[in-house]
Every structure is written in structure tokens, then in C-alpha cells.
Amino acid sequence: MLQRDLRAAHVEGPLLRRLRRRGLAEQEQQQEQQGQRRGDGQGGMAERTTLARLLELRGAPSARDVFLALGDDLQTWAKSPRLATVVLSVLARQRRPDVAQQVLGCMQAGGVGVNVFHCNSVISAFERVGQWQAALNLLRRMPDMMAQPDDFSYNSAISSCGKGSQWLLALNLLSSMPAAGVRPDEISCSAAISACEKSGQWQRALALLGSMRQLRIGPSVVSCNAAVSACEK
């Protein structure tokens, strides 16, 4: 059955990367929508103005630069945390983890409650540029912020480890999810298999693919083809 899955799922590498990115993007969109539904308040022009100021910051901006760019928004975000989710999500899509991280720090310093959606947006920003150390550091600090990591938190961190050729860390993250009260899903396994594939760990990739059925997770085109690619290296 496993061999049949592998043969049926053999697609080209660029397509595999697009499918894997789409899986994380869809999960990110769901997270953003959930974050926007939490809290009251109206967004719109204020968010766009704030984003424009933040995106104008160049290099690695200081905390002071970001604090000045935020203006009075911190007070607004304390009442409407979803507005912060919108801003952080855009910063992630724009690949500005430096700014996103400073925004999160300003929120903490300003007494704004940080939630899982805020942290996930920043982890996603790190993942998009392959900053796996920063992604792992934030994942580990989330409980101290009273923001319990969820499947998106782990999936993005696992993917960032894959981009950094840290396949063992990716597997460790995957195996630690149940103890943290988070159930691995197909995206979790695919990201870990991809991490093994990038480092040529084909035995690990095949073993993980085979264990997915035991976890009651159906292998997808992405997970199967990542294992195929690992065997080809």
C-alpha cells in the first residue's frame, strides 16, 4: 500500500514546494480569520496607516523606531487584539520578521495581551525567511506569554527547521506535539518528511511516512512525494 501511494504521488519538485507552501498558507489564512473574529473594534484605515509606517522602516529597526511607528495603536490593540493580528499577518507575508518581532515586543512592553494568533504570525514570518532559531525560540517562549502553541505554531516551526537543514530538530518537534497537547496533522508530518528529504535522510522520511497511518493521518501527495524525493538523493 505504501509503495502504491509513493508511485501515485510522484510529481515534480517545484510543484511539491508549491503544494507544501499552499498547505501552510491555507492554515495561516484560517488562523488569521480566527484571530480577526476575536475581540471587538473596527479596523481599516488605521491599520493601513500603521502598516505603511512599519513597512517604511529599513534594515533591522530598533524597538524605539517600531514603538514610534505604532503610535497610539497599542492602546487600541489592548481592546481589539484582532487588529494586531491583521498587522502581524501582513508583516509575515511581506517577509519582515525583524519588524514583526519588534512589534510583538512592543505589545508586551505596552501591556497588550499577546495571544496565540499574534505569536503564530511572527513564527510564520520567521519560517518564510528560514530563521529557524528565532522560530524555535518564540515557540518555546509562548507558554510564558500565556499563549499556548497550537498545530499551526508547530507546523511553521517544523517547516522552518526543514529550510535550515535541521531535520533532527524537526522530528523532535513533531514527536513533542502530543505531550504539549497538540495533535499532529498531515501538514505536520509533511513538513517533517520534507525536512528529512532536504537533508537526504531517506530512511527517516520513509519511516515517518509509514507511521502516518498508525497516527490515523492519511498521506497526501505532498508527504508521499517528499519521501520519493528523499529516496532519489
Contact, 118 vs 88, CB < 8 A? yes
Instruction: Please list the ranges in the chain whose pLDDT falls under 70.
Output: 1-47, 233
The three-point CA angle 137-139-169 to 5° equals 75
Given this model, what pLDDT does residue 51 score?
Answer: 93
On whether residue 102 sits in a domain, the answer given is: no
On whether residue 80 sits in a domain, the answer given is: no
Given this model, what pLDDT does residue 12 score?
Answer: 41
Contact, 181 vs 193, CB < 8 A? no
Domain holding 184, by residue range, is 1-25+149-233
On whether residue 92 sits in a domain, the answer given is: no
On whether residue 115 sits in a domain, the answer given is: no
Contact, 102 vs 45, CB < 8 A? no
Number of structural domains (the chain) is 1
- Which residues, other chains included, contact 127 with Cβ-Cβ below 8 Å and sequence gap of 6+? 24, 135, 156, 157, 159, 160, 163
On whether residue 190 sits in a domain, the answer given is: yes
Backbone torsions φ then ψ of 227, nearest 5 degrees: -65, -40
- DSSP 8-state class, residue 165: T
Chain position carrying cell 479596523: 43
- In terms of Cβ atoms closer than 10 Å to its own Cβ (0-12, 13-18, 19+), residue 226 is buried
Contact, 226 vs 190, CB < 8 A? yes
On whether residue 47 sits in a domain, the answer given is: no
Distance between CA atoms of residues 211 and 201, nearest Å? 16
- In terms of Cβ atoms closer than 10 Å to its own Cβ (0-12, 13-18, 19+), residue 45 is exposed
Distance between CA atoms of residues 62 and 203, nearest Å? 45
Given this model, what pLDDT does residue 73 score?
Answer: 93
Torsion angle defined by CA atoms of residues 38, 40, 45 and 46, in that order, rounded to the nearest 10 degrees = -90
Q: Which of 158, 123, 159 is nearest to 139 (CA)?
A: 123
Torsion angle defined by CA atoms of residues 19, 95, 102 and 75, in that order, rounded to the nearest 10 degrees = -80
Q: Taking the CB of residue 217, how many other CB atoms lie within 10 A of it? A: 18
On whether residue 70 sits in a domain, the answer given is: no
Contact, 228 vs 7, CB < 8 A? no
